[in-house]
Amino acid sequence: MEQKLFTNKVVLNADIDKVKNVLNNPVNLIRWVPEISDVTNTADGFAITRTEKAINKNEVISVVNKDNEIEYQSVGDKIKYRILFSLGNENEQCVIKEKVYVSEELGIKLPFKLLKPIVKHAFKINLQHLAMFIEKN
Q: Which residues contact 127 (CB under 8 A, 6 or more apart)?
A: 8, 9, 10, 96, 98
How far is 3 from 66, CA to CA, in rounded Å?
A: 21
CATH tag, 2-136 = 3.30.530.20
Alpha-carbon torsion (92, 129, 43, 71), positive or negative: negative
% of the chain with per-residue pLDDT over 90: 80
Per-residue model confidence as pLDDT tens digits over 8-48:
999 999 999 999 999 999 999 999 999 999 999 999 999 99
b/e 88-109 (16+ beta carbons within 10 angstroms → b): eeeeeebbbebbbbbeeeeeee
Write down the pLDDT at residue 125.
97
**Could you tell me if 29 and 129 are in contact, meaning their C-beta atoms sit under 8 angstroms apart?**
no
How far is 15 from 12, CA to CA, in rounded Å?
A: 9
What is the average pLDDT value for the chain, to the nearest integer?
A: 92
Write down the pLDDT at residue 107.
58
What is the rounded average pLDDT of the residues 72-90? Answer: 94
**Can you give the residue ranges of every domain in the chain?**
2-136
Write down the pLDDT at residue 113.
76
